[in-house]
Amino acid sequence: MQVDQAVLDSVYTENYFKGEEYLDYLEDQDVQRVNFLDRTNTYKKVSGTVPKQILEIGCAYGLFGDVARKVWPESHYVGYDVVGEAIDHAQTVLNLDARNQDYLTAASEQKSDAIFMWDVIEHLQHPDKFIEKIAKECTDGAYLSITTGDISAMLPRFQKRSWRMIHPPSHLHYFSRKTITELLESKGFDVVHCGYPAIKRSARLIYFGLFMLNKQAPNWVKKLHNAIPSRWAIGINTFDIMFIIARKRNGAG
């Protein structure tokens, strides 16, 4: 799906993280960090490596970057995002090497051996170009980690157009396990892991997604939402979010 750049520029502002796509991304950061730690543990088991040069595309406020440098203190981290307010937090509060740039137009400096795209690929107008650029700018044997919805899973097949992941213009592409594998293989990566992990969400965020996101919610729905303690978290698994880890073939890219 192609969308005018002006429309995308209007979508990816601070409001995206504060009420439009997320209830409040930073308010939910403790739960986000737990999920990122779970993902790094899976990465370590699958890859058996300690990354030297980490690249994150779509780093938002830098929460994963902050987790990654604690897990891998000797690694160097670089993150990219197009939302300036989020990058400002990553830079000034977390002191990360985070850059307010579109990765596709950014000049490469050094080859990465661990690349992470958490809930990002579905937002991209040209996901194939991103994977192609990553392949050119990473080392042989580098690991690429991706999370995204699986449109071939049972829940989206049942819900069809009402599946929560279908909401353009922020989500532009919808992958199945088969199609994302084909994309990665065509750019020189072999899938070595595909899992459907449970994801911890704050109770308020779950409620928001079910009853308020993209809806004209009545006042009683909003009041009930506000009454939910912000620290409540629930681990849920709808088995429609894929966690893909792929390894770059030697000489590919």
- Whether 13 has a pLDDT exceeding 90, the answer reads no
pLDDT at 8: 53
- Whether 7 has a pLDDT exceeding 70, the answer reads no
Q: Which residues contact 104 (CB under 8 A, 6 or more apart)?
A: 126, 129, 130, 133
Fold that domain 5-198+239-248 belongs to in CATH: Rossmann fold (3.40.50)
pLDDT at 236: 87
Ranges of each domain in the chain: 5-198+239-248, 202-236
pLDDT band for position 1 (cuts 50, 70, 90): low
- Which among 156, 148, 222 is positioned nearest to 191, based on CA atoms? 148
For residue range 223-236, what is the model confidence (pLDDT) as tens digits?
Answer: 988 898 777 778 88
Question: What would the mean pLDDT of 204-220 be, rounded to a whole number?
Answer: 80
For residue range 23-74, what is the model confidence (pLDDT) as tens digits?
Answer: 577 888 888 999 999 999 999 999 999 999 999 999 999 999 999 999 999 9
Phi then psi dihedrals of residue 246, to 5 deg: -125, 145
Task: Give one DSSP letter per residue of 221-238, joined into a string.
Answer: HHHHHHHS-TT-EEEE--
Residue corresponding to tokens 């993902």: 39
Q: Secondary structure of 91-127 in the HEC alphabet?
A: HHCCCCCEECCCHHHCCCCCCEEEEEEECCHHHCCCH
For residue range 162-181, what is the model confidence (pLDDT) as tens digits?
Answer: 999 998 888 999 999 999 99
pTM: 0.87
- Whether 213 has a pLDDT exceeding 80, the answer reads no
Task: Give one DSSP letter per residue of the chain, joined into a string.
Answer: ----HHHHHHHSSGGGGTTTSSS-TTTTHHHHHHHHHHHHHHHHHHH----SEEEEES-TTSHHHHHHHHHSTTSEEEEE-S-HHHHHHHHHTS---EE-S-GGGSPP-S-EEEEEEET-GGG-S-HHHHHHHHHHTEEEEEEEEEEEEBTTSHHHHHHGGG-TT--TTT----B-HHHHHHHHHHTTEEEEEEE---EEEEHHHHHHHHHTTTS---HHHHHHHHHS-TT-EEEE--S-EEEEEEEEPTT--
pLDDT at 229: 78
For residue range 71-121, what is the model confidence (pLDDT) as tens digits?
Answer: 999 999 999 999 999 999 999 999 999 999 999 999 988 899 999 999 999
Kindly report the number of other CB atoms within 10 A of residue 48's CB atom.
8
For residue range 185-201, what is the model confidence (pLDDT) as tens digits?
Answer: 999 999 999 999 999 88
Counting every residue written for the chain, the total comes to 253
pLDDT at 132: 97
